[in-house]
Each structure stands twice: as structure tokens, then as C-alpha cells.
Structure 1
Amino acid sequence: MALHFTSEQRLDDNVLEREFTLGEIPGTLWTPESAAPVPLILMAHNNGLPRTAARLVARARHSAASGYAVATIDAAGCGDRPRSAADEQARTDLRQAMQAGEPVDEILESLVDSLVETAVPEWRTTLDALLALPDIDGPVGYSGWTAVGIHLAAVDPRIAAAGFFAGGHVPRAQREEARQITIPLLLLLQWDDEGNPRRRALDLFDAFGSKEKTLHANLGGHVGTPWFEVEDGNRFFDRHLK
């Protein structure tokens, strides 16, 4: 499957931003000014946020300015991509259960597991295409959505290090897969995340099989991750990708 660039612009931080399509998959690639191929970071967001979300773009540009190629894609049902009827119904059921104060774990299990199974093959196809570009080389890092990242790292040996955000639901299947993950790992936890029980995040961190794994916990809710964690994340990737 061929990757086609559809637009490009040079940003004021000397980062080149290029929009691309890969079949039905739309994506964005940020690269620094560099004469040599640079390592790649795949930056995924929780499904439902478009790749143009301000928080993701800010993280991507900062990492690109620090010497990385950074890529993100819109997963199925994200941005302008349509959702399946089953996923749409699951989201409706989730909203209704939350409004009624009913348990939502089983709905999330089904919804997120379906999203992961769809998203990971697309990320692997994207990775194939990006590593064929002359200005990108391995090793490859992953940053963002935990459930997708666990499955991707478990099935694709090209992922050399990962930074996960502990704020999204991780289905049981991925919690079991976490024991297979042995790459260096940085897990960010918001201590007061209203949608992610603290104990569950700590148990997940304990389950990872990595010999080098670091947990950063900060006070605050789901979207309160301090900006300095982006800078620390770059230092983490510097140790393992450069």
C-alpha cells in the first residue's frame, strides 16, 4: 500500500508537517531539519480524538523539534472516518449507562477491545510505509493510548520503547498481554483521574514484564498531565532510540 503526501508546511520551529494518506488511513508526519535519517515515534491518542487535537499536535511538534520523526493517524471512527454500527451502538450504550450511574466496565471491554483489534493492523501498515521513507530510520518508539500500545508492542518487535498514558480503559486481554512486554517503559498516571481507578493503573504497571519500567504519578485529573512530562518523555526516548 503506497503512502501519498497530500500537503506540507514548514512550521516556525523548523519542523516539517506533512499530511498523508495510506489507503483509507489519513495521517500526519512531523520531521525535523536533519541531513540524516532520524528515529521514529508513533503517537497515538485515545479513540474519539482526531489527530488534529491540540494536545497531541503540541507533543508531536515538541518531539520533532527534539530530533524525531513523529507520526499519528486517525483510527477508524476517528476524525472524519466513519464508525462501525457496532461501535456506534457501544458508544450509545456507554453514554446511557454513565448517565444512569450504571457499571460501564463490560461495555468498555467490548468497545475498546474492538477498537484495538482494528487499530493495531493499521498502525503496523503505517509503520511499514514510514520506515520505507529515506528520512526515517529505526529504532521505533510508541507514545500514547495504552491499550493499543500494549497490543502493538506485543505483536511488533520493531517497537523498542514505549511511553503509555494510564488514563484509558485497558481491556483484560491487553492486561494479560502486558506480561509479555519487556521493552523499556514509561507509564504516566494522573493520581486523581476520574475515569481510571488508581489501583487498576498500579496493578497494570506491576504486570508489565519490562526490567526497566518507570512510573510517573502527578496530582490532577485526566487531562492534567504536566507539560514537563513531555520533556521527560523525550529524555526517555533519547536513552533508548538515539
Structure 2
Amino acid sequence: MQILSERRLDGDLLERSLLVGDVPGILWMPPLDPSGSAPLILLGHPGGLDAQHPRLIARARRSAQDGFASAALELPGSGSRPRLSALEEARAELRTALGAREPVADATVDRLVLPLVDAAVPECRAALDALSALPGLGGPVGYSGGIISLGVRLALADPRIAAAVLFAGSWIPRVILEEARAMRIPIHMLLQWDDVDNPRQAALDLFDAFGSPEKSLAANLGGHTGVPAYAGDEAARFLARHLGVASSRAA
């Protein structure tokens, strides 16, 4: 892992730009006592670190208030990374079907999501290996965000992930629904009820499929980008509770 640059943000949050192999990423570290350590939250997002940067910083600031470090990786085929032709073709098929108000074929959903998940999960695990060796990071790992299928597959593949906040709002292959039955960690799902481009019923079916003894669903009115601030606070309290960090806002 290479650390390319670092800077201090307001509130003494340290932001480091890095490479894990050839995958760009960002790490945000909260202020720590010299002998302290912070659990890590891996922030999921739809791709394009530069475009997502303002939102990711806001999420990292909120996590830092509860004593967490945060990290985000660029997705395969996004940002400055080489495009994946199969994903581009599947996206075109999806846009055509949605524009014509036709059902989206399962095969299209599979080609849209599964190659991305197959490529991203090993990269995320390699990043966790590298980040865990840094001073100041320690304890359990959380996952927070979307793409939801990536969060499901990663949580099943990596035992370091102790709890996950999963953002509905992306297409879900049927195989992910089946894999979700093996989930056992605590799950908190955020669902925007009026997200017209992503099927609500698929998200509800996924929530129902989770085998986790503890799972919660927070559904709010509004479109894809209309998640209310209080829903983010509720998700932060969920992670603080399960990753063992106490704070005045997590109580």
C-alpha cells in the first residue's frame, strides 16, 4: 500500500489518499490518543471517488465523531480505472429497458452487478489486510453503504466485518438473495421508498432473506438521494453499538 498524500481537515480529521495495489482509495482517521486505536468502517458507494468525495467526507466526519476511522476504495470500472466493457453493455441494456418501461431481465441484472462484485470483493479484502497493519487502526470492522450486493458478498466473505449498514438502491441478482440467507452479523438496511429506478420489492425480499438474528429496516419517503439526516444518525448509532465504541451521540 502506498500513501500518496495527506491533509488535515476541519475538526482535525486526517485524510490520506492511497493506493492498494493499483486501486485508488482514501482513509480518514479521527484524532486519537498516542496509544489509542480506532475501529474501521469501509464506506460503500456507487463509484467515482472524485464525484463522491463530498458525500464521503460528510460520512467520514460523522463516523469520526463516534471514534471510527473510515476508508473508501474506487470501484472496478469507475473513476480513473479502466472501463469494463461487460458492465458498460449491461448498463446500456438497463437504460434501454427502463426508458421503454419494460421489465429488466434477470440476465441483465446479473451482468450489471455480479462482475463488479466478483472483482471488488477481493480488492476490499486486500485493502482491509493493508489497512489493518497501519498504526491507529484496530478492532472490529464495519461496512456502510452500497452497492448492496457488494456489501452482502463482502460481509459473508470476510469475518472481520462485525456489522453492516446496507443502502438499498441498486439492482439485486437472485443469487445474492440466496447468499443472504447465510448472513449472521447484525444488519441495518436503509431504503428510500420512492426510488423509482430501483425495485423496492427486491430490497424487501433481500431484507426478508437475511438470516441474521438481528436485522432492522429503516424505510423513508423520498427518492434515491433523499436520505434524511436522522436516518444517518440512526445508522451511526447502530454501528457504534455493534463495534464497541461509546460516544455521547451514540448513546
Provide TM-score, normalisation by structure 1: 0.94
Is structure 2 residue 241 aligned with structure 1 residue 239?
yes
The residue matched to 2:11 in structure 1 has which SS?
A: coil
Name the counterpart of 2:56.
Answer: 56
> 2:31: which partner in 1?
33
- Structure 1: stretches of 5+ with no match in the other structure: none
In structure 2, what is the equivalent of residue 117 of structure 1?
A: 118
Aligned match of 1:169 = 171
Partner AA of 2:135 in structure 1 = P
Which segments of structure 1 move beyond 4 Å, counting only runs of 4 or more? none
Specify the SS of the correspondent of 1:13.
Answer: helix
Contact 1:140–1:241 (Cα < 8 Å) also in 2: yes
| Match of residue 227 from structure 1 | 229
> Could you tell me which residue of structure 2 aligns to residue 94 of structure 1?
94
AA partner of residue 208 (structure 1) = F
Residue in 1 that maps onto 2:212: 210
Matched position secondary structure for 2:18: strand
- Runs of 5+ in structure 2 lacking a partner? 245-251
Task: Output aligned runs, 1:101-140, within 5 Å.
Answer: 101-106=101-106, 107-140=108-141
Q: Deviations over 1:109-153 (max 9, x none)?
A: 211011110110100000100111111012000001110010011
Deviation string 1:177-211 (CA, Å, 9 cap, x unpaired) is 11011101100111111122222222211110111
Could you tell me which residue of structure 2 aligns to residue 15 of structure 1? Answer: 13
Q: Distance in 2 between matches of 1:43 and 1:121?
A: 16
CA distance in 2, matches of 1:202, 1:99: 24
User: What amino acid sits opposite 2:240 in the alignment?
Assistant: D
1:42 corresponds to which residue?
42
SS across alignment from 1:80? coil
Q: Is residue 97–residue 103 contact of structure 1 (8 Å, CA) maintained in 2?
A: yes
Of all paired residues, the percent bearing the same amino acid is: 53
Count of matched residue pairs? 239
Structure 1 residues 26-54: Cα deviation after superposition (integer angstroms, max 9, x where no partner): 000001000201101000112x4435512
Code of the aligned partner of 2:100 = A
Quickly say closer, same or farther: Cα 1:72–1:218, change in 2 above 3 A.
same
> Structure 1 CA distance, aligned partners of 2:39 and 2:129?
14
Kindly state the Cα deviation for residue 96 of structure 1 after the two structures are TM-superposed: 2.8
**CA contact under 8 A between 1:45 and 1:51: conserved in structure 2?**
no
Q: Deviations over 1:73-127 (max 9, x none)?
A: 0011111111122222222222233333333243122110111101101000001
2: CA distance, partners of 1:154 / 1:52: 28
**What is the one-letter code of the residue matched to 2:112?**
L
